[in-house]
């Protein structure tokens, strides 16, 4: 798009609960990467899974971002307002015979070993209720992560035929995140390492839609113990109740960008200015998980 900045990044929270320390890490990491590149930083509300959404939390999240000095560019995009767009893409994939109906239950998939084996791919199912799966095509198991470097994802996971429209009629995250990134012109995605293994399938879907995928970088996850990340489901504490500069200092230290002593208690705007000027992707720890209990 003429006149667009070379860099467009994004932060895409789910409004199912208030921002916690783990989600602020993703927000700050994506913000600083965008601003250090003199690019745009967008906010997108991933509210496609409507049964999990909590009324008013989107406004709470936006207020919290502002509290921490994280001001977004352009208007906030809501997935729940884009259903026609997702349906258009779904229909396009159907016309290309890249989608098929699936009647397998979670129990059946568990009995397959936890990964779907393509059982319904050639049954020609059309009667609802069905989940709709994308036929795996052109998926590369290898990619280079901006933080973790060369990655190789297990082929069975990367090449799985995954759901893009659920049995309840809701579009799945794996479809809408790619469509949103394309439509918003996202050039780089900085997000939590829990999504690292999903990168090959998202890259492949971009190519199916004849678009160049963004670059991807994954940040370490804040965990209360190995395998248990800070999350809304684990009742992580809302960070809005803590002094913003204290939390920001902890976030930057977590990301390998510790503030100098004289800025530890400075206003959060000063802390962010320093962090933007000194931001280094190479300083971020190359760990999938890191312990954090201060704000859990």
Annotated binding site: 10-14, 46, 102, 104, 116, 120, 173, 191, 232
Best CA proximity match to 14, nearest among 6, 23, 22: 23
- Residue ranges for the binding site for L-glutamate? 10-14, 46, 173, 191
- Residue ranges for the binding site for ATP? 232
Structure token pair of residue 48: 């496609």
Question: Please, which residues have CB within 8 angstroms of residue 137's CB and are 6 or more apart in sequence?
Answer: 98, 204, 208
Query: Terminus-to-terminus CA distance in the chain, angstroms?
Result: 42
Structure token pair of residue 107: 């129990």
Please give the Cα distance from 272 to 30 (Å, whole number): 13
Best CA proximity match to 136, nearest among 151, 152, 115, 150: 115
Hey, is 65 helix, strand or coil? Answer: helix
Beta strand pairing call for 77-78 and 40-45 = parallel
The helix (run of H) or strand (run of E) holding residue 217 is strand 215-219
- Residue ranges for the binding site for Zn(2+)? 102, 104, 116, 120
Best CA proximity match to 69, nearest among 271, 274, 277: 271
Q: Rounding to the nearest 10 degrees, give the CA dihedral for residues 285, 291, 294, 296.
A: 120
Task: Please report, for the chain, how many H helices and E strands are present, in that order.
Answer: 9, 13
Structure token pair of residue 165: 């429209």
Q: In this structure, are residues 130 and 100 in contact, taking their beta carbons and an 8 Å threshold?
A: no
Q: In this structure, are residues 70 and 252 in contact, taking their beta carbons and an 8 Å threshold?
A: no
């Amino acid at each position: 798009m003429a006149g667009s900045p070379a860099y467009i990044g994004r932060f895409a929270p789910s409004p199912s609960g208030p921002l916690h320390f783990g989600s602020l890490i993703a927000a700050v990491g994506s913000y600083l990467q965008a601003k250090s590149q003199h690019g745009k930083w967008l906010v997108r509300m991933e509210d496609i899974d409507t049964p999990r959404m909590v009324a008013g939390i989107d406004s709470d999240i936006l207020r919290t971002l502002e509290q921490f000095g994280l001001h977004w560019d352009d208007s906030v995009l809501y997935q729940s307002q884009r259903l026609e767009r997702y349906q258009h893409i779904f229909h396009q994939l159907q016309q290309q015979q890249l989608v098929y109906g699936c009647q397998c239950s979670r129990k059946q998939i568990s009995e397959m070993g936890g990964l779907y084996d393509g059982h319904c791919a050639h049954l020609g199912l059309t009667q609802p209720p069905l989940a709709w799966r994308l036929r795996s095509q052109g998926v590369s198991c290898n990619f280079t992560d901006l933080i973790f470097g060369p990655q190789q994802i297990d082929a069975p996971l990367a090449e799985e035929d995954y759901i893009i429209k659920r049995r309840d009629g809701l579009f799945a995250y794996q479809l809408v995140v790619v469509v949103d990134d394309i439509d918003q012109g996202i050039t780089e995605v900085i997000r939590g390492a829990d999504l690292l293994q999903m990168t090959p399938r998202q890259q492949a879907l971009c190519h199916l839609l004849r678009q160049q995928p963004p670059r991807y970088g994954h940040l370490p996850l804040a965990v209360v113990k190995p395998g248990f990340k800070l999350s809304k489901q684990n009742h992580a504490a809302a960070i809005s109740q803590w002094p913003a500069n204290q939390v920001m200092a902890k976030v930057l230290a977590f990301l390998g960008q510790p503030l100098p002593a004289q800025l530890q208690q400075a206003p959060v705007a000063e802390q962010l200015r320093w962090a933007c000027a000194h931001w280094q992707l190479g300083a971020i720890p190359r760990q999938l998980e890191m312990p954090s209990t201060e704000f859990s």
